[in-house]
Structure 1
């Protein structure tokens, strides 16, 4: 019997042709985020999320800062500033990127950390499919962020 939670049909698995080889992706390299207030967002991503600033450049020709931020040894976020960027769409179900998710060892510790720093967040919920706990909050420009508890 089909799983009633699955709402799409099976994927069409075609035989690969010589010209249709899969792209040999290795991993997600980074996500680029444009900040309306670069310094405020840089402080948020380093002080609240604990990312490490690997490199920072000012590009005079674009009047833009660029910061490379890492999580441990992995480069994950490229933070940009541009003059007067438009605000992001407010509805989270708009087409395109919905949110960024970060894995945490313990969601209760993460809640205490966010609360101690005064970062508003939604209540902790449980993923009905995995049984893992998670919560949502936003960066200074209202980009939705998720903390997802490790198995």
Structure 2
């Protein structure tokens, strides 16, 4: 299973704060283009982000829901992809050294036709996208650290 990974120069609590701000979702998730609503309880289990993905004028509305949380070390999401299915996304945050956090991301199709695609083939599809998403997340985290 391929895991996307980045290291950011902040402690896990500070890195997790960017994940806990659902309004930032479209700024780091590749493909998400517009946030319509974030449940007030985000990122509590069962809370949702309502978003659109794609490129204008072809935008599809859907949701991502929190499946599990262990703040500030793990966030497990289920991202729906219209009628095509859904993917399970696990983000883990580990303090490498004091003040530095490694963020890892693993994604697997869990519903729809893509769930029948073997894991290594899914890795090929998700790996570059997830690495780019984490690079964007790292930029958001660094900018928030500079501004605080």
Normalising by the residue count of structure 2, what TM-score does the alignment of the two structures yield? 0.30
The structure where helix makes up a greater share of residues is 2
Which fold has the larger relative contact order, with Cα–Cα distance below 8 Å and residues 6 or more apart in sequence? 2
Q: Which has the higher strand share?
A: 2
TM-score normalised per structure 1: 0.29
